[in-house]
Structure 1
Amino acid sequence: MSLLSRPIRAFRRPPDVAVDTVLAAAVFLAQLAPFTTMREPWSPALYAPILGASLPLLLRRRAPLAVMVAVLVAVPLYDLIGGGPSQPIWYGWLVAVYTVADRSPRAHRLAGCGITVLSTFLVVRPGSLDTAVRGTAIWLAAYALGRAAALRRERAADLEERAVRLERERRLEAERAAERERTRIARDMHDVLAHAVSLMVVQAESGPLVVRSDPDRAEAAFDAIAASGRDAMGQLRRMLGLLKDGEDARDPQPTLAGLPDLAGRVGETGLRVSLTVTGDPAALRPDVDVAAYRIVQEALTNTVKHAGADRVDVALTWEDDALRITVTDDGRGPGAAGRPGGRGLVGVRERAAACGGDAAFGPAPGGRGARVEARLPLGAGA
């Protein structure tokens, strides 16, 4: 296909040199056409002005104004030499005028117009008003065609530049969207893995301690490990499905409705979890609902992993225009040895900000423990 497309493109748009060569030859032959009907002998010197009005066209793209001046100098010589047939139209002059209008800057175009107006009565035969008017009309037509071609080319260049710019912007927006999606998936995977692995580690550490003294509790710990693993695998399978083309990954995301179950799983580690709801619950946008669940999940995960706490309180407060989430534990406070800050708490702030809200974390009131607080707007336009 590529071997055929190159000759096709070359045929559709030949080189500029070839076009100008053919054009100069055509103008030369057109100016010689009147000699074919002339019976009287003519002076060979008449070929000089005809060549002078034709050959400069080979350079019309490089120096349009200079070519037009050269043609205007050659045309009056034809009348000065005399003895030849009348030339109805000097085609080389019209081509030169067209080229100046098409390819010259504004200053050169104005100069060309002035030169053309002054030389009009030199180009046509003197004493003929009709010829002068006809020559002026033909010159204006050639100039108008040249300007139309220039404007059309500028318009095509503008459209091409706009298309390139739009394509570049579309590509950049696609890259930004992909980056946002990667960040979201990474954040979700962190939340799922950190929560599940933390619960599994705590249960795995407590299981061997009670396997002989309290077999029922040990069995419950191992069941909790298996349940956490299955839940993590299910959520990871859903998120990884988003990365595969053509896979239907429309399983529902976790929402506030799943908080009691989340609190129950965390409570199986031995941590006492309290969940309280204040105010009248309102409908949430899907992204806000998911963010609320993930914020509570990350706060509980952080407590299980680092706080060394005995109790954690989760409070949902429904306000007129926002949902306020507060998670408070009685363990080691933020900044204490053994409780480092992590990517998860940064993710809490990012999730809240993505929904138009905000989040903060610091020591709990009274100086013991830590507190994570987030405020998520309820409005549809948040």
Structure 2
Amino acid sequence: MTMPFLVPRAPELPAATWTSYGLTTLTALPLVARRRAPVAVLVAVMATGALYTFTVDGPGQPLPYTGLVAFYTVAELSSPPKRLGIAALTVAAVLVSVGLDGDDMRELLFSLFVFAAAYAFGRFTVTRKAYLRAVEDRARQLELTRRIEAEQAAARERARIAREMHDILSHAVSLMIVQAEAGPVAVRTAPERAEAAFDAISEAGRDAMAQLRRMLGVLRENEGAPDAPREPQPALDGLPGLVERVRGSGPAVSYEVTGDPGAPDLAVEATVYRIAQEALTNVIRHADARTVRVRLEHGPEALTLTVTDDGRGPGGGSGLGLVGIRERAAAHGGTAGTGPGPDGRGFRVRVTIPRARPPETESKAGARTRTGRTTEVGS
């Protein structure tokens, strides 16, 4: 805007004076406040331009730069009624200005085009900012969704780990307590039985420690640590050893397997093992049973585990063990029934898990848990 005042001018053109330079500067100064008061700034710029045209015979400008910037800001920030009103006034001002300057049609069309372009760019800026806000909102929503899903996954994993810890510790500690209580009596009456009891305590403790190390290794942040355990999940072939450990705690435990095992499903096998472990732990802790029968049936459609004892049934436990049994079965689309044994004596846990997990299991597992398809007794 200052170039006409700095570049030497032809002798026939009017000289650039300080007055004309000052008025030209006044057309630019209001732009500082254009975003706070766009309409007032545009009016001030146009009024200063008109004052320059009518009072000072100074160098003209090839384009009304300040007016275009102010008009662009009005198009971007003003409400629709204000925009339309200012646009009409601007068109009228352009017509008057071009008419006073010689009524050149080419100059009129050019002036209208550049002001229309300024208006279009102002509206385009609004659209672009709205799009960017929408993209940012979408990104925030996706991040929130991702965070919620991560928290839900963590909660499910915590619940799974809690069940694993309950099964491991409850089983091992129950065996150790029973053997420890029987040890002092056996020392006085049958030393060889006392030695066997202490061996059983040691074995149960070592087994619990090994399984806890495996679980804690999974929880480590550095899964590639050289000392991280890599033991597999328990499977059905570990049930005889489990039964043998329980048999060493006192009750006579029988184990029977029927049917064709077929192709193994490691997740189902681990679940059945944990259910059997929890059921036997309940027998040791609460049932005061003399005999226990463990039966595993490999049917054509489902795998069924039945644990039956002749004791008094689970007593004053928290019920978490049987809840865990039910949840483990439901996670694979199965069912868990608990209640009195045959002829109303003792206690029985019966779990059935289908060989082919139905696709709707995920959505129905929670509902199956809430509808109370099992008879819950404290574990």
Aligned with residue 236 of structure 2, among 256, 266, 290:
256
Matched residue of 1:238: which SS?
helix
**Aligned residue in 1 for 2:372:** none
Q: Deviation of residue 37 (structure 1)? A: 5.6
**Aligned residue in 1 for 2:220:** 244
State the distance in 2 between where 1:118 and 1:207 align.
108
Aligned with residue 317 of structure 1, among 277, 280, 297:
297
Aligned with residue 28 of structure 2, among 40, 48, 54:
54
CA contact (8 A) 2:5 2:59 kept: no
**Aligned residue in 1 for 2:146:** 170
Residues 94 and 189 from structure 1, CA distance in 2 versus in 1: closer, same or farther, beyond 3 angstroms? same
Which TM-score applies when normalising by structure 1?
0.80
> What one-letter code is carried by the residue in structure 2 that aligns with 1:255?
A
Q: Deviation of residue 131 (structure 1)? A: 0.8
Q: Deviation of residue 368 (structure 1)? A: 1.8
Unmatched runs of 5 consecutive residues or more in structure 1: 1-26
> What one-letter code is carried by the residue in structure 1 that aligns with 2:249?
T
Q: Deviation of residue 48 (structure 1)? A: 7.2
> What one-letter code is carried by the residue in structure 2 that aligns with 1:310?
R
TM alignment of 1:193-212, pairs within 5 A: 193-212=169-188
Q: Deviation of residue 376 (structure 1)? A: 2.6
1:95 aligns with 2:69: yes
State the distance in 2 between where 1:131 and 1:359 align.
89
1:353 aligns with 2:327: no
Matched residue of 1:340: which SS?
coil
State the distance in 2 between where 1:31 and 1:100 align.
28
**Aligned residue in 2 for 1:117:** 91
**Aligned residue in 2 for 1:13:** none
Aligned with residue 276 of structure 1, among 256, 275, 285:
256
State the distance in 1 between where 2:36 and 2:305 align.
74
Residues 99 and 372 from structure 1, CA distance in 2 versus in 1: closer, same or farther, beyond 3 angstroms? same
Aligned with residue 156 of structure 1, among 100, 124, 132:
132
Which TM-score applies when normalising by structure 2?
0.81
CA contact (8 A) 2:15 2:59 kept: no
Q: Deviation of residue 258 (structure 1)? A: 0.9
Q: How many residues align?
A: 352
**Aligned residue in 1 for 2:343:** 366
**Structure 1 stretch displaced more, 198-207 or 282-291:** 282-291
CA deviations over 1:72-98 (Å, ceiling 9, x no partner): 343333333363333221101110122
1:233 aligns with 2:213: no
State the distance in 2 between where 1:256 and 1:56 align.
84
Q: Deviation of residue 190 (structure 1)? A: 1.4
CA contact (8 A) 1:50 1:78 kept: yes
TM alignment of 1:32-111, pairs within 5 A: 39-40=13-14, 46=20, 50-81=24-55, 83-111=57-85
CA contact (8 A) 1:256 1:289 kept: yes
Q: CA RMSD in A?
A: 2.9
**Structure 1 stretch displaced more, 224-233 or 120-129:** 120-129
**Structure 1 stretch displaced more, 103-112 or 137-146:** 103-112
